[in-house]
Amino acid sequence: MTEASGSTAGPLDIRRVMAALPHRYPMLLVDRVESLDPDKGIVAIKAVTINEPFFQGHFPGRPIMPGVLIVEALAQAAGVLAVEALGLAGSGKLVYFMAIEGAKFRTPVEPGVLLRLEVEFVQKRASVCKFAGRATIDGKLAAEANFTAMITDPPAA
């Protein structure tokens, strides 16, 4: 993602990702951001390793990353995009799923790969954003989904 105006940012390391997202191990599924254009989208990476806790049971003898976690990784990349694009860093605002549409899984995601998470804005508003996401491995489509998220204050303690 490049833009003549020079608004493209990246890479963002894990510390910056963790500053944008409330997720922590074992639910943090974005390891780094390669590029981020606040007007267009984000490219992030999830390094998929055999050490992931879900591989113990999904599936013994043939470890495959669950599709729901691939969609979650795309949503987390979208969360970083929304926080950065809308200037929400440090605000405490959270990005919640509202809808997932058209999720398709094309190839299994196995340990030892770098899962490239590409997410673009479809619609960007202050409180609701729509995204289109693609997860690829070495340029091959692994999964895709469209989703909507709501930006809101965290629940009262």
Catalytic residues: 58
Q: Closest by alpha carbon to 74, among 49, 52, 95? A: 95
- C-alpha distance from residue 59 to each of 105, 109, 114, 132 (Å): 17, 12, 19, 28
Give CA–CA dist 22/105, Å, rounded. Answer: 27
Name the token pair of 60.
């013994």
- Give the number of other Cβ atoms within 10 Å of residue 109's Cβ: 21
